[in-house]
Chains A and B, each alone.
Chain A
Amino acid sequence: MLRYAAERLAQAAVIVAFVAAISFALIHLAPGDPFSAAIDNPNVSEAIRERLRVQYGFDRPLPEQFGRYVSQLARGELGWSFSHDRPVRDVLAHTLPNTLLLMSIALVGSFALGILIAVVQVSRRGSATDHVLSGASLLFLSMPDFWLAILALLTFTYWLPIFPVGGAVDPVMHEYLGLGGRILDRIRHLILPALTLTLLASASVARYQRAALIDVLPADFIRTARLKGLTEREILRRHALRNALLPIISLIGLSFPALLTGAVFIERVFAWPGMGYALVNAIASRDYPLVVGAVIIGSIMVMVGSFIADMLYAWADPRLRAH
């Protein structure tokens, strides 16, 4: 188990190095540099730009620049965000908690909802309910994240004005609320984005889990349980579901990229002040260091997620635990 963890960690380290190399290559393959692209200001003369380039080391040979870049990354330095006028690290540290909040709610919610849908489908296999739920999960799977978010926004903030339009708190009133009021205000703002991301993510969980349950049902131990006289419902809950839960753990690891991607679009639509929103604004304002910083942090998040899922899997599966 420890050896497996060490191997997996070493593999992750190699991948992080690779991601850093790719992002460095992207930065330097792109036309121009931060000082020709980000500061399109006619008042900044070429001489000043040249001085900035020297100051930031853009005049050095590429291998030296790469060395500096890697050592900066190792120290957690991600460069300077031009549009926020502060270090990229600060911008991301400020916005990341909001994204993590959204993603963790959606992670828990989508797995609970997805497994529930799958169990309902399998217990009524072949019925109209099963078909309708299959169709619904395929529909949500086929829906672009930002479009569902826009539909939710249209429906529940304009046509049926139940929820606030966007942001994480009320821009005016939040300051004047008491503690309870502030918490309530945050929850009101959180519901719609979190629900949208949950719905989107639960579709693939439901499809995956339905297939996993159906795979398990012909197994010998299910037949034994049936011969013991257990009802179909008990078999499903006590035997089939337990065995079909193992692949769910690896699905958690696999679902991180989709959750993160979904969060980017949902934050954009609901103006949710997370990392995805910062990324989208960075794209619009050509703040390339912030774009690359968000991409690196996002990739590391995905990697950490899949690492944790692998460890959980190894711990939960007695066959792997023995090794």
Chain B
Amino acid sequence: MRINPLPARGSPLGRTFARVIERRSPRLALAILTAIVLIGLLAPLIAPYDPAAQPDIVRMKDLPPSAAHPFGTDPYSRDVLSRVIYGARLSLLIGVLATVVTVTLGVAFGAIAGYAGGIVDAVMMRILDAFLAIPRLLLLVAILAAWPRLSIGALILFLGLTGWFGLSRIVRGQVLALKHAEFVTAARALGASRRRILLRHLLPNLVSPIVVAATLGVAHVIVLEAGLSFLGIGVPQPGASWGNIIRDGSDQVAALWWMSLFPGLMMVLTVMTLNVLGESLRDAYDRSW
């Protein structure tokens, strides 16, 4: 048994987090991510132009980067820099909201399956297997191609609905492992209801794996959304998402290189910082056991 030199203070998640930002690369990642979030939040103040404005579709389209348009303009004469800035807002929003859906469903399904056990658990796990067998992108393509011109809200919902299977399995495993722990038996002996045991005793112990899965999940959703938008079934026009901007330039990749380079760089930066944070959180959490 390991003896801590000091009594642990604060919540388990807070301690994990403190351990994460002690190191250099996650600290840098957090700083970059904060900057990108700020860019997204303050998009209307930062963006030099309206992201949907088409000032002169004849003379101002397809302009290469210049002082007036640092990231150039697109085939509809819109300013690419402004669209990339608004893209940060939309991509992060979609990533976070879809992950909220994912976490809610994944935790509920996994916790119920793990706690119920027996045949309920077996059936629920087979359902999960079937969904996990379909590649997420293909499932989304089948759904989104059937409903053309979906709103962003519906897109978020579908991104969330197709992403919770893996997390569910993790949560179920944790609940199964903790179900017969002493503190749960004690709570049961004190007459706590199932619901209370699940919400007050089991769930707090699941926070760390959920936070890890959510951080990596946001990164994954951003990539997926960009991919779907690139295929033309994601964010509807004239909404600016990173994938959308790249799609607008994809017919003439060579002539309009600035339309794939800049939004792609922003996206890679965002996804990479989220991955660094998620993995550092996981490392820190693994070491705390």
Does A138 lie within 8 Å of B275, measured CB to CB?
yes
* Residues of chain B within 8 A of A31, CB atoms compared: 146-147
A145 in contact with B227 (CB, 8 Å): yes
Q: A298 contacts B130, CB within 8 Å?
A: no
Is residue B148 contacting chain A, with contact meaning CB distance below 8 A? yes
Interface size class of B (residues with CB under 8 A): 35 or more
Q: Are A154 and B254 in contact (CB under 8 A)?
A: yes
Kindly state the separation between the CA atoms of A288 and B147 in the bound complex, as whole angstroms. 10
Q: CA separation between A19 and B268, bound complex, in Å?
A: 33
B134 within 8 Å of A (CB atoms): yes
User: With A22-B134, A295-B134, A302-B135 known to touch, is A146 a contact of B129 (CB < 8 Å)?
Assistant: no
Residues in A235-290 with C-beta less than 8 Å from chain B? 257, 260-261, 264-265, 268-269, 279-280, 282-284, 286, 288
Q: Mark B165-207, 1 if CB is under 8 A from A, else 0.
A: 0000000000000000000000000000000000000000000
What are the residues of chain A within 8 A of B250 when measuring CB–CB? 150, 269
The chain B residue with its CB closest to the CB of A31 is: B147
**Residue with the highest number of chain B CB atoms closer than 10 Å, among A146, A158, A268, A303:** A146
Number of A-B contacts (CB under 8 A): 130
Q: How far is the CA of A130 from the CA of B162 in the complex (A)?
A: 35
Q: Are B136 and A257 in contact (CB under 8 A)?
A: yes
Contacts of A139 in B (CB 8 A): 268, 272
Q: Is the beta-carbon distance between B147 and A283 smaller than 8 angstroms?
A: no
Residues of B within 8 A of A (CB): 126-127, 129-130, 133-139, 141-143, 145-148, 219, 223, 226-227, 230-233, 243, 246, 250, 253-254, 257, 260-261, 264, 267-268, 271-272, 275-276, 279
A142-B268, A299-B133 are known; give 17 further A-B pairs, CB within 8 A.
A11-B129, A18-B127, A19-B130, A19-B133, A22-B130, A138-B272, A144-B226, A144-B271, A146-B227, A147-B267, A154-B260, A158-B253, A260-B138, A283-B231, A295-B142, A298-B135, A306-B133
Which 4 A-B residue pairings sit nearest by Cβ, starting from the closest? A30-B146, A18-B130, A257-B135, A142-B272
